[in-house]
Every structure is written in structure tokens, then in C-alpha cells.
Structure 1
């Protein structure tokens, strides 16, 4: 098939591009390189089945494809809060253009939504039926509410225009190619530990998250796209860890002497986050297979290699 991946040079997008290329598809990678990077997709640049398009999805584009994986949007708080108006435009106008494209060319459309649509949840774990507890005017709302509107648009295009849609609600994902400065908890801890800096835990570290390795997530996205279920479907790892437990795991794997320090909790930071993946198991036959310790080992090795290549003399060997 001929497949468009928006945000294809990003962390998750580039791993998805790898899988699609390895499966023999023709892949169009669209990215404006706000958080994506060419190094993630450099190995495909001269491949006859790969095409890189530098483009911002808040502007219309015309291409011919069979499927659209719509991943384009900064996903870490540091990046999506840097320019919140741009973030919500990407989620709303960008999704509108991509759905319009899917309608015109008859392509199947997968929206990479997020667990952030649940906000700071009052139901635990979070099933797809839960409608969320989201602050519409807080610092995270450009992303949280932007993705909620994107879901609305997807379902309206489906109901009104018959567009084939798939909606994935992605929970915390980690792995190789995460940005060093994205402000996410895994990359923060790994980079701090490798540089011999104290690990920064916000609040008491009692807030929980679930961590899905990127290869597991990509498998879930592909299964959802090629299944007959519209969604939304949660994709994430149901194993739940406190932030302090994660810090201690990274500490032990990199440098047991690393100090852990505590700072004030950011506004609207969710206290608990864990997916109910019953639908993914029953409808897609999908569940994560990579345990946290194994995924962290690979992630730490990737960060160590990149930091060393960038000439960071502080990297802990």
C-alpha cells in the first residue's frame, strides 16, 4: 500500500515508518521538523519506496495514498506548551485538513489521540467509555482539549462523510529516539542519570504512570489500522509504577550513587494514569510484551550512544 505518516520523523512516527518500510509498503513521511529529526529516518532517504515531505499540516496538502497515520503534533508538555496556540491549531486545523484529504481520496485514517483526553482521571484504570476530567483553560489544555476536538472531528467525518477512521488513545510510551530535552519523565531520568545529575521527582513521586515500549505501541497502531474496529481504543501498558519507582529503577541501572531530589508538582499533573486495555486485547489481540526493565535497558543504551556522539564528557559509562 501507499501510506502517509504525518509526524513521521518523530519518536513514534519514525518507528512506525521503519515497520511499514520493512513490510514493503510505499511510505510518505510528512514532518515540519518541529520536534522530529532527519536522523530518525535518514536510512530511508534514498530508498525508492520512501518519500520525505517537509510540510506543516496547518496548511493543506494533496497526495494520493491508501492509508493515513496522523501522528503530527508535539506530545511532550515542554514542547506543546512552548507555543500553545500552534499546538491547538495543529490538533484542530491540521486534523481537519488530514480528514479532508482522507475524504477526497478515500483513504483510511488513523488518529493518534492520547490518554490526556482523560485529564486527571477520577476513574481508575481508564476505560474508553470514561469521558475524562480535563481543565479546559489550564496549561495542558492546548494539547488535552486539542486532541479531544481532533477525536470529535474524526467521528464527525466518519458519521457525516463515511470516512473510515481509527482512533488510538496512546498512553505513556518510551524507547530509543526520544528527544533528550522533551521533559518526559523517562528521558528526564535517563539523561540526568547519565550526566551524573540528581534525578528530579515532582511532588512526592507517588503519582503513577504506565510505560509502553515503542515497538509494542507501533504493533498496536498497525493492528488497529488494519482491523475493522473504529475505536477509540486504549494502547498502553497496564503495569502501573509510581514516578519514584521509575526513578529508582533508572538510578539502579545507570548509577546507584545518583541522588534523587523532590520539587513542587506542576499544575494539572495527573495523579494516576493506567489504561484499561480490555478492548485492545479482545478486538485486536494486542497487549504489550516488553517489560519495563528490558525497555529501559535499550532506551538507556540509545541515550548513552547519542550523548557520547554529541561529545558530552559527563556521560556515565
Structure 2
């Protein structure tokens, strides 16, 4: 009998790739998403697959799954600054109420659950590169705090269920990930830069561009998550590419990749935007035997081809999502 796995946030960028991975590995996959930031286009290729079922549901409400359930991947959450600044309360709720509901489901089903945390738990780090032992430097009441603190609470309640109930839990701290199916113009660096280049616009860099990021291709990220789920390790694990680059240099790479002649323009740095982001992946190497394989040049070429395939309407649409019906005053 094949294993059954519930993947929340299944219609999102990373969630949809995880659905593909577990179906390829022979699992029966139950995808769940409320489609606030997810898009059915990301999983429509799976709708005819007998091992895939989709549930349109918001995990901040009670989650019921009939029958056996072996694993849960909790990836439901806005993940870009544009999203979580527009729907801050929903962001906090999916990290708290949603996580609580899914931990309860895992306990009921005796299922192993993996929680998607983020490098944002480190805030604007005072330690570089970031190790899992670092507690972070987070502004709890700043605009980004709704995301950072949702994820930090998510880790805390997950470890409480692990210690108090003996639940099998895993925590992945995801660093910047990119690849096909990213949502254009969602505020993240790569789709923002490529979208601007394809539209013939100048590339916008915030601050002086000296801040750094480390970009991991989606196939590597999915492989790390898969290995962590099947491991016996319960403490958080960084999964990301340690190859660091400044945003200014990365903008120049995008201009070369797209063969455009745009300029780089500079705007003020948003509040609490982290100046450094680089994972220490020693733990992932030692425990999971994992490290990234796809270099940035190769991954960016694939990603660029994906964005080039978008229709002019998709390319010029400034914001793919209308959040108005989800905003609570």
C-alpha cells in the first residue's frame, strides 16, 4: 500500500514542486490550498493523476482528512513581502492556528509532520553565515514581524508537540529558493528583476545593493526537504545554497542573462530588510548527506526560459492577486 502525504500550500511555487516529487516517488498526494497566493496553474498537470487529490481549504480552519495519513508537509503561508504586508493577519494565522490544526491532525493520525520555516527567523542577522544555533535578530513589531514571528512561533509549537506529545516532527529553514512557477512581481528578487528586464524596465535595487542573498534552485531545495522528512532528525535544518552574492552584482547578472540594456536604479531600503543572508549547511551535509548541485548560472537559465514563456498579459500584470476579500480590518 502506497504512503499518503498531505501537502499544504500545494498550489504555491514550492508546494507544487513537492507534489511532483512525492508523486514521482510513488506516494498518494493530497494537496491542500486556499488559493490566496497559490495558483491552480501550478498543479493542473496533476489533476488527471490517480495518485493526486486536491482540496480547496484554508488550514486556519479545522482540517479533516479521512483515512490513513503517513506524512504532512506544512507549506501554507504567504512567502513574499508584498503578500504578507498586504495580508498580515492571515500570515500570522496560518503560522499559528494553521500549524496548530495540522499538528493536531498529525497527532490524531500518528503521522510525521515537516514544518516549512524560513531563514527569516534569523531576522537581520548579527552572525554570518547563519547556523541553526543562532537565535536571530528580529524586530517583533516591525512590518516584517508578521512573517518572521509567525515562523518563529511555528517552530516553537512544533517542538512543544514533539517534546510533550512525542510527535515525529521535522523543521526545515528555507533560504531564498527560485525556479519555474515563481509568481511574477510578487516582490521577491528574482521574479522582480526578470520581470523588469523582460518588460524593458530599469532594475530596481533597494538600498545601495551591498546586501547579500544566497539563491537555491528549487530541485535542490525539494531534494533537501525530502531527505529531511525521511531522516530521524527533529531539530531545525538549514536548506539553502551557501554561494552568496550582493544584490547589485546579481542585478548585473540578470542584465547579462537577459541580454537587455537596462540600467540599475536605487530606491530606499525597506525597514528591517536583512543585510546578509547565507546559510551554514554543515548540519544538512552531515545529517542528510545533502548539498546543492545546481549552480546559479544553470538554474537561472532554466528560470529565465520559464518567465520568457509567459504571455504578454501575464508579463505586464503588476499583481497577480487581489487580496481585498481576505483583508480583515
Q: TM-score by structure 2 length?
A: 0.93
Where 2:310 maps in the other structure, the secondary structure is helix
Matched, 1:114 2:118: yes
More deviation in 229-238 or 56-65? 56-65
**What is the aligned counterpart of 1:59 among 61, 65, 68?**
61
More deviation in 300-309 or 76-85? 300-309
How far is 1:31 from its partner?
Answer: 0.3
Q: Residues of 1 paired with 2:199 and 2:33: CA distance?
A: 30
**What is the aligned counterpart of 2:14 among 12, 15, 35?**
12
For 1:79, the equivalent position in structure 2 comes to 83
Please list the CA deviations of residues 113-144 of structure 1 after superposition, one character each: whole Å capped at 9, or x if unmatched: 00000000000000000000000000000100
Count of residue correspondences? 313
Q: Residues of 2 paired with 1:9 and 1:85: CA distance?
A: 21
Moved over 3 A (4+): 307-313
How far is 1:22 from its partner?
Answer: 1.2
For 2:161, the equivalent position in structure 1 comes to 157
Can you give the 5+ residue segments of structure 2 that lack an aligned partner in the other structure? 318-329
Where 2:251 maps in the other structure, the secondary structure is helix
Q: Residues of 2 paired with 1:231 and 1:136: CA distance?
A: 23
For 2:241, the equivalent position in structure 1 comes to 237
Matched, 1:227 2:231: yes
Q: Residues of 1 paired with 2:134 and 2:115: CA distance?
A: 18
For 1:42, the equivalent position in structure 2 comes to 44
Can you give the 5+ residue segments of structure 1 that lack an aligned partner in the other structure? none
Please list the CA deviations of residues 58-84 of structure 1 after superposition, one character each: whole Å capped at 9, or x if unmatched: 001111410000000000010011011
How far is 1:255 from its partner?
Answer: 2.6
How far is 1:167 from its partner?
Answer: 0.3
Q: Residues of 2 paired with 1:236 and 1:75: CA distance?
A: 16
For 1:27, the equivalent position in structure 2 comes to 29
Q: In angstroms, what is the RMSD of aligned CA positions? A: 1.2
**What is the aligned counterpart of 2:265 among 261, 274, 278?**
261
**What is the aligned counterpart of 1:91 among 89, 95, 98?**
95
Q: Residues of 2 paired with 1:310 and 1:184: CA distance?
A: 17
Q: Residues of 1 paired with 2:313 and 2:105: CA distance?
A: 40
How far is 1:231 from its partner?
Answer: 2.2
